[in-house]
Amino acid sequence: MEKAILGKKVGMTSIYDDKGVAVPVTIVEAGPCPVVNIRTMEKDGYSAIQLGFETIRENKVIKPVAGQFKKVGIAPCRHLKEFRNLAKSYEIGSEVTVAEFTTGDKVKVSTTSKGRGFQGVIKRHHFGGVGMQTHGQSDRQRHPGSVGSSSYPSRVFKGLRMAGRMGGKRTSVRNIQIFDIIPERNLILLKGSVPGPKNTLLEIVKV
């Protein structure tokens, strides 16, 4: 892992490249992220840095966390995330900004995907549907069909693709290219789309 930063998904738009081709991009407001804590092998058993993102009033955080921020002289942050094994060494109080990244870098984006609620097999697992519409099953176009066997094994196997809760899980997408960086506004433009709704927290890591 070389670089890491926290950001917030603002939305999507399209930008013309040098050849006049419209490129869809995701706008991310990333950083500045203060280094709140540093984990070491001697003290914690692993090496990592703890980054904060988005300031928040002191009365909005619990007292132990507020004491941690007060100890290092940093304003309380809404989000705290740890990143292990960064190539660059940091000090407590220093800031990570978008200027550390460069246009063309490939990054991994991790976040929580959009929650879709309870969905059927066509939307959740991309079943084809519209099976045989005769012999008494004219109303089963969007149903999964048989889910088990009768005499053997007389049960439904674990992991069978069925209807259920969809989305709302942690997911990561690799090899997303940084299309452009606007340091004065703390913006990163990522080529294509990334998971999650607007205003969701994004972990951007260059690996």
Q: Which domains does the chain have, with CATH numbers?
A: 3-116+167-206 (2.40.30.10)
Look at residue 5 and tell me whether its pLDDT is greater than 80: yes
Do 36 and 69 form a contact (C-beta atoms < 8 A)? yes
- 87 falls in which pLDDT band (50, 70, 90)? low
Q: What is the pLDDT of residue 146?
A: 81
Spell out where the chain has E strands.
3-16, 22-30, 33-39, 48-55, 77-84, 95-96, 106-112, 115-119, 164-167, 170-182, 187-191, 201-206
pLDDT tens track for 170-205: 999 999 999 999 999 999 999 999 999 999 999 999
Residue 86, pLDDT above cutoff 90:
no
DSSP string, 132-180: ---TT-TT-TTS----S-SSSS-SPPTT---SEEEE-SEEEEEEEEEEE
When pLDDT is averaged across residues 6-24 and rounded to a whole number, the result is 93
Query: Please, what sign has the CA dihedral across residues 51, 56, 61, 63?
Result: positive
- 53 close to 98: Cβ distance less than 8 angstroms: no
For residue 1, is pLDDT > 70?
no
φ, ψ of residue 71 to 5 degrees: the values are -65, -40
pLDDT digits (tens, 9 = 90+) for 22-73: 999 999 999 899 999 898 889 888 889 999 999 999 888 899 888 888 888 8
Tokens of 111: 């976040």
pLDDT higher than 90, residue 161: yes
**By C-alpha distance, which of 30, 12, 7 is closest to 22?**
12
Contact call for residues 12 and 22 (beta carbons, < 8 A): no
119-154 pLDDT tens trace: 999 999 999 877 777 777 777 888 888 888 778 888
